Structure 1
Amino acid sequence: MGNEKKARVLEAAESVFLRFGYRRTTMGDLAAAAGMSRPALYLVFCNKEEVFEAVLRAFTARTLQEIRQGLDARPTPLEKLRFAFDLWAVRPFGFFEASPELREPLHGGLAFAKEAIDQAIATFEAELVGILAPLSATAPAKALPPGQIARVLTRAVHGFKESAKDAEELRAMIDGLLEMVLASLRPTPEAGA
């Protein structure tokens, strides 16, 4: 029964956080949305930070699972990377547009979420390495290793989210970056050949 309650709270909490943002949400809001009393909610989660972190981890796990399931249907590295970043960065960007209050904890405003965010980014970067690694075998010697490229991509896209005016601009910025990175991994014709 405990797992059922936790799942009910997480499902309800995600919609409440999306609607009101982190700061404006109260434990009372979360309890009401989950159909339970505040004391019952405190038996499942100690505080709002714990609920938010659990929601963030659940959202990340679902997104990563969706990425993993969809990669095989994309035949080229560019399509795989576009798909991964569309789910990882562009789709959540729409949530931020709808609820600007979400930006604060997800962009360094609340220290408690940092560990969950860092773990999510590291896991996503590992997925990117899986896409990029096969290209390393034929890449020029001066090309960066896949792990370093993945790190550059995630950090650059983080910056793009801060400056993009809408999801379409974000997608275009990411696409340009991906084209540039993949061009740097293409084998160069041998001199004199």
Structure 2
Amino acid sequence: MTELEKTVLDAALHVFSRYGVKRTSMGDLCEEAGVSRQTLYNRFRNKDDILRGLIGRYTELALEEIAEEMPNATDLAAQLDLIFDRMVVRGYDTMQAMPNAQDFIAGANAVSQEALQCSAGRFSSVIYDVLMPYEASITRNGLSVDTLADFIQRSAKAAGMHALDRDHFLAQLRTLKQLSLTAALGPVPDAIHKED
């Protein structure tokens, strides 16, 4: 992704969060990004392209941060916490701060299913990688690493969409982590319960 594309996408997120996707024009995006219409249209044909680009950009940023910080996550619990934070918690917090979050979410869901599926697959792959060292235990528990990784990714995403509030969302993620640790490690020592 070029610096120009990043600039346009960052500007788009800012404008979409202020006015919503529907009420934002391509002219608004040009003005916020400081680019001409021709420059914008050379890369993005319409707002749908921009929404797909936003999903890709923020997936990439989250995955880069996970990769950078993963060496500091010393056990599976810390690795899952890191993944959850970058995969869903930050996005949840961003959406909660947006006055037009529902419009943004509806716009992204309407036009970006392929981009959303690609993003989900990339996060599932990261979860798969952290679960692989525990494959024998996961298999003994009647699961596959692939299935568990997919379940964790989808459940974490769904928890954010259906949470009553942030505390409820974080409680759902703690439960998901506990279930994941039990599947991968067997019963979890009390010290893990007291971390959160």
The TM-score with structure 1 as length reference comes to 0.86
Once the two structures are superposed, residues 24-63 of structure 1 have per-residue CA deviations (whole angstroms, 9 ceiling, x without a partner) of 2210111000112323322332111112211221111011
- AA aligned to 2:115 is A
1:103 is aligned to 105
Contact 1:160 1:173 in 2 (8 A): yes
CA drift of 1:157 comes to 1.9
Distance in structure 2 (CA, Å) of the matches to 1:133 and 1:161? 25
| Aligned twin of 1:40 | 39
Judge which range, 81-90 or 32-41, deviates more.
Answer: 32-41
Identity %: 26
Tell me how far 1:173 sits from its aligned partner: 0.7
CA contact (8 A) 1:157 1:174 kept: yes
5+ residue gaps in structure 1? 189-193
Match of 1:9 in 2: 8
CA gap 1:88/1:187 in 2 versus in 1, 3 angstroms: closer
- How does 1:1-193 map onto structure 2 within 5 Å? 3-99=2-98, 100=101, 101-106=103-108, 108=109, 110=110, 112-139=111-138, 141-187=140-186
The one-letter amino acid of 1:86's match is D
- Residue range with higher mean Cα deviation, 88-97 or 114-123: 88-97
Larger Rg: 1
What RMSD over aligned residues (CA atoms) do the two structures have, in Å? 2.0
TM-score (norm 2): 0.84
How far has the Cα of 1:139 moved from its partner?
4.1
Number of residue pairs aligned between Structure 1 and Structure 2:
184
Structure 2: distance between partners of 1:178 and 1:64: 19
Aligned partners of 2:135 and 2:184 also within 8 Å: yes
How far is the alpha carbon of 1:187 from its aligned partner? 4.8
Cα distance per residue 1:65-123 (max 9 Å; x no partner): 111111110111011001111111111001221222222134x3x1x301111000000
